[in-house]
Amino acid sequence: MFESVTKKTLITFAALLMVISLPLLMACEVEEVAAPEADFSATLTSGPAPLEVSFSDESNGDVTEWEWDFNDDGIVDSTEQNPTFTYEATGTYTVVLTVSGPEGEDTLRRTDYIVVNDVPDNDEAQWAAFSFDREVAPAEGEPGVLTSFTVRQIYEEDGEVVEFLIEATYESLAVEQIRVNRLEIDQETSDMDETVETIEIECYEIRNHITVERDDTGADRPDWIEITLFIPVEDLNRETDSLLVYAKSVYEDADGYTSEWSYYLTNEMREEMADPPEGTQVFFAPYVEDDLPHFDAQIITAGLYGWAWSFAMGFTIDGEQQLAEGTVEWGGHNYTITREMWEIGEYVFDAWTIEATIDIDGVETFHYRSVIAPDLPMPIQFELEAFDLDEEEEFRMFYELIELELS
């Protein structure tokens, strides 16, 4: 009998052990260790020395070790997953990443991946965007300050074209009063107190006289529009907090309509928003006197004095990028830069073309191209195409500087 009980006990124990072990065995069978596949990217692939580059590991599989060789000399320069390396000398560099894990190792070599250029003079290597008091020195023609210029502007949507002629004049450099709406909200009652604050900043005053040269839409438009813009001398990137370079615009047209818009943030305003009075929230919003009556005005100012700058602001003076032929990644997008001589009337400029296609959620959405000369305040050309915007109509903006006067 003892022998029978012992056998039953052993059989029962073995069966119980199988029941307990089965999920573990199944889990072990499901859990597969993938072989490593090396892959990486870099924040910059070209620029002047010294060039600091941040590398990002994008390898697949089970990776436990990384070996980076930043100049393909056979020496491991870093074992970090996402290292940063500074290239001190000019030249073209091949980067090698070897990753390893339980299932082996893999190596990726990107040949001539990093291009380090000579350090150019800062004024020649970056765009002096909207600096109207700066002397312009063309490759051919007498140098001087840009006092007036003419821009041909085309807006196309769903096959219909509207063409404008923008005749602009640099009026003055002066201190301008800018009004901003201050909004203070009581967090307990949601009551809002709205006041207008006035600040004074130094601005370039640019008057834009606009007429319609072609109109496929048949819309009712005034004979002319005049928009005077006030562009801050400093801190375009930091203070406006928008795609627009101007802090104030004053509108009038041939039909007698007038309006005003202004917006600017000082350091004190930013600090108050970050640390408002206890129990409140504080915001600053644009000051508006009557809305702009015509879509034309928004197209012209937002394009010529907005997007034309925002897409190229990394290449402006004090920006992060230098103008150098090649491809550079900035702001998550790849920019292709080429160089050529560009003729405008009696002047010839040493110009740079910056071009990029921007994807949103993997869909090609915007195509951008800008032609700029480093010390010329306005872009020579600017083009923006938008398409596949959730099946909305495609549109195209195009601006070309066709005349200018230096004195």
Q: What is the CATH number of the domain that holds 64?
A: 2.60.40.10
Helix, strand or coil for residue 153? Answer: strand
**CA pair distance 224, 211, nearest whole angstrom:** 5
Give the CB-side neighbour count of residue 224, counting CA atoms within 13 A: 9
57 DSSP β-pair partners: 40
Alpha helices in 155-283 (DSSP H): 236-239, 267-274
Residue 347 pLDDT more than 90?
Answer: yes
CA neighbor of 349 nearest in space, from 380, 327, 322, 315: 380
pLDDT for res 322: 79
Beta carbons of 106 and 114 less than 8 angstroms apart: no
Task: Report pLDDT digits (tens) over 193-246.
Answer: 999 999 999 999 999 999 999 999 888 888 999 999 999 987 664 444 457 888
Q: What is the pTM of this model?
A: 0.68
231 plus 320 within the same structural domain: yes
Task: Report pLDDT digits (tens) over 75-100.
Answer: 999 999 999 999 999 899 999 999 99
**CA pair distance 356, 334, nearest whole angstrom:** 6
- The separation between CA 102 and the C-alpha centre of its own chain, rounded to angstroms, equals 41
> Residue 75: which residues within 8 A CB-CB, separation 6 or more?
69
pLDDT > 90: percent of the chain: 52
Q: What is the DSSP letter of 263?
A: -
225 plus 308 within the same structural domain: yes
| Domain span holding position 13 | 1-31
Helix, strand or coil for residue 306? Answer: helix
378 plus 400 within the same structural domain: yes
Query: Checking DSSP bridges between strand 104-117 and strand 84-87, what pairing results, if any?
Result: unpaired
Tell me what the mean pLDDT of segment 160-186 comes to.
Answer: 94
**CA pair distance 48, 86, nearest whole angstrom:** 11
Boundary (domain end) residue, out of 88, 117, 146: 117
CA neighbor of 312 nearest in space, from 288, 289, 330, 290: 330
27 plus 83 within the same structural domain: no
**CA pair distance 262, 282, nearest whole angstrom:** 18
Instruction: Identify the residue whose tokens are 């790849």.
Output: 334
64 plus 91 within the same structural domain: yes
CA distances from 76 to 66, 67, 69, 70, 369 (A): 10, 6, 5, 8, 40
105 plus 134 within the same structural domain: no
11 plus 144 within the same structural domain: no
Measured at the alpha carbon of residue 7, what is the angle toward residues 4 and 10, in degrees to the nearest 5?
Answer: 150
Task: Report pLDDT digits (tens) over 369-378.
Answer: 999 999 899 9
Radius of gyration of the chain (CA): 30
CA neighbor of 170 nearest in space, from 202, 131, 140: 131
Count: domains in the chain: 3
